[in-house]
Amino acid sequence: MSETVLFDNRAVEVALDNMSKAIHADEVFLVGIHSGGADVADAIQRRLEERGATVTRGDLDISFYRDDLDTIAPHPLVRRSEIPFDVAGKNIWLVDDVLYSGRTIRAAMDEIFDYGRPASIHLAVLVDRGGRQLPIAAECAGLIHEAPADCTVELLTEGAWTIEQRQVKQCDQ
């Protein structure tokens, strides 16, 4: 199966700029979902800090919170979840690369609540591809693309996620 570039590096950069502008706070608590969401959160963090915001970052690996853990692989790649701040009473921005069914976000929220009770959780995604199975919506979506259910949409990066190497691809039908 071949792939089609949906959004090139320029479109991704503009989307990241717009996403960072949509987050209005002097103190921001960003939590990225491994792995693509963590990369997007890093890019947003750089932009927020450039405009003078104080950003505290965390990362989640939701592997053990998934409702399909038994079907994804016999030995899933598990990364470390790390939230180096007390989430209680904080307004948290949860960040992911692609929003599809809503199940990843549900799992991430379950994990966040294991750390404490935040005041609120806002969702920022680079690409909203539609196809929700759960009532989850992004407050901030950089790019929107209605993708067929039998195709994957993914953020592809090479190396150190430099400006020239970000693009969003979808499989061809």
Query: Distance between CA 61 and CA 47 in Å, rounded?
Result: 24
Query: Distance between CA 161 and CA 115 in Å, rounded?
Result: 29
pLDDT of 41-61, one tens digit each? 999 999 999 999 999 999 999
- Domain spans of the chain, in order of start: 18-69+77-145
CATH class entry, domain 18-69+77-145: alpha beta
pLDDT of residue 157: 65
Helix (H, G, I), strand (E, B) or coil at 18: helix
pLDDT of 75-90, one tens digit each? 666 778 999 999 999 9
pLDDT of 17 above 90 = yes
Please state the φ and ψ torsions of residue 29, each to the nearest 5 degrees.
Answer: -110, 105
